[in-house]
Structure 1
Amino acid sequence: MTKTATSIQNPIVRIFAPVRALFVGDASAGILLILVAAAAMLAANSAMADEYRDLFYGELPWTPIPKLYDLHLWINDGLMAIFFFVVGLEVKREVVSGQLSDPAARRLPMLAAAAGMLVPAGVFMLISGGGIYANGWAIPAATDIAFAMGVLGLLGNRVPASLRLFLLTVAIVDDIGAVIVIAVFYTQALYTVWLFAALGVLAVMIVLNRLRVDYFWPYILLALALWFCVLNSGVHATIAGVVAALTIPLRRRDGNSMLERLEHTLAPWSAYLIVPVFGFANAGVSLAGMGPEALIAPLPLAIATGLVVGKQLGIFSVVWLADRAGFAARPPGASWPEIYGVAILCGIGFTMSIFIGSLAFPDADQEPLREAAKLGILLGSAISAALGFVVLRLTASHTDEECDDQGEMPHDPFPKDPLR
């Protein structure tokens, strides 16, 4: 039976396929985010605007954790920790045994991701002028992996496998950079007792890893404890997700990959539930009282320009320079117009940009800045998605063999004993 026939007869397999295939071969996650963003904007600007706001920002009548007093905080500090846990699993897999494990193979993605963060940040500071907007410098530095890969997936068999893989690895390195930025630049007051408690829990998880404990439940219980300690330490709680993921053993004693199976189990929940819920809770921007001048206000203009211009300028330039200098070759089989199109797609910030925006302007009196930032993120991401799609639609055309990067399933996606 051919791979195509198998995919048609077993649609569920596509959902629980390896994570790379989930994003590369299926545009549904990106399409879902587009629909969610549209629904959030519609809700925030409809007769149900008050209900939409009260749902996420209204104080809960009871909460087990006083610090998380509304649904929005539970989503951003709680659910998103699971999203970052999946990111951490993906990062560890790629660094240990994937595309980022080969020093030669990771040169170009690392250079591109670094330029794709620094140049947009510079563009942002140049246009915004800093001042009260300065803390938002990292907002246009992020790339939304699901959204970008979803747009790429809409092109079908037009984009070569090497270019898809390049976009994926750049986005993964970008995620690593975003996590570092959040930990270093968006941590406010630190509470020493909780920080040491978090370090103690982390030490236990590392010991379990060294002892090759390959049962699932100890890591989950300790990850929850780590999240609670980090939540109260002053460091953003989502960092606990990434750190906990790095302690998950790559392989079990029977040789099967514990990390990959956990990743494959959680990835659909992250892509099709957690990220859409986050998007719906955060993407709703009220346009009441806003005129066209709102789009050219310093903050939204700086963010949108950073995403649309800064990303493509930084990534394309460094790829061209690295290739010309012989330091790192461009993706094989990809033309320069195609590389340019992918560089544009990296300007889709959405999830990570909105998340960083909420950290950049956290105070109650900074709500207008948060809303303006969201407007710039949505505008920049929409332009990057549309422009990147058009450029690749007009320039990319390859055979099925050149575009087939998913290969056969390496193992049964429904193991009888995925995790003990």
Structure 2
Amino acid sequence: MEWVVVVSVLLMVILSLLRVNVILSIIIAAIVAGVMSGLNIVEAVEMLVSGMGGQANTALSYVLLGAFAVAISYTGITNILVKYLIRIMSGKKTTLLLVIAGVASLSQNVVPVHIAFIPILIPPLLTLFDRMQVDRRGVAVALTFGLQAPYILIPAGFGLIFHGIIYDGLVQNGATITMGEVAKSMIIPGLGMIVGLLIAVFITYRKDKEYTSNGQDATLYNEKQSADISFNLKHLLTVFAIVGALIAQIISGSLIIGALIGLGLMFLFFVVPFSKGDKIISDGVGMMGSIAFVMLVASGYGTILKDTGAVDALVEASSGYLGNNKALIAFVLLLVGLLITMGIGSSFGTIPIIAALFVPICLSAGFSPIATAALIGTAGALGDAGSPASDSTLGPTSGLNADGKHNHIWDTCVPTFTHFNIPLFLFGWMAALFL
């Protein structure tokens, strides 16, 4: 039973690397996990489908945010931003990647919209990337850094939620710790992500990479038309709609309500004609629908791993072989966290699962509460960057592949896995041993 998670996750990763569609890869891995756990194929499929509702809220949020992004791009306001970036960033590739990482970081704490900004900002910039011969793998790494590092390092916005889940997992399982100590525990693992970003920007993806035309044009940026665009009343009203959507999201705590308010204001202000409503929603579904469906299927996969007891069996079996060697215990627990998160695709969803089993193991082995927090937080975050089913990789791909030149697995997942999960693992391991 303890091998179910290992075999199914490796199968999903191998199929994805062989360029099998990520949705099919997850479905096949889920069915294999179910069958290995004692279910027949029909029961495995039924459990997969029943578990898909766990991410229904997230999936609908992404579709509506995609429609909101299309409506914003319709006004041409993004072309103004792109024109400005082209003027000041031409020939400054490393600076551009760092700026993208910085903008992405704002989406987790200052303006907590998560991946919703990507389909608004990135497709119009593809023209600039190609002109500057920017390696889009570097852009993917920069975007994923901004989607993950802030919630690891900063206890605000999504970071407050993440740190709160770690805190709850520790306290509910017998550890004594404060929220401030949880925040301190994640500083060293977060530094690992910074190291990974700098390696990607200044070493791995610094060279020019030329992208040939494939006949598609989904960049949403027309240089000739944009030359005549200047900020006007329509763009001002668009800004009001964006601010209104943000305020509604913060007050309600719902991305769905925020997106609906934003769309409603766009139509109410006549920034977007009512006659374009069907096309905008359709384009929004086309832009974000595949991500939404991957999230739904991944939720079903996670349900199979959890409800069949496969995750519990893996952690319990691992703990039986650990003894009292702290270095070995930390290494194995992080490896288990990586496997689980790669399968489930959500660091936030993984922590409650592993905390109940990690905390007793860590406390009995003599780890301090802050070291235990570092282990749990790092184990949860591992796999979020690099998992084919994670929105931290699906989001960047949705923007970078708008013109069909970017592969989800080889151009997003592999670069983000190597540049973030490896340093995260090493720095998290050191944090657990020295804190």
**Same fold by TM (over 0.5)?**
no
More helix by share: 2
Q: How does the TM-score come out when normalised to structure 2?
A: 0.29
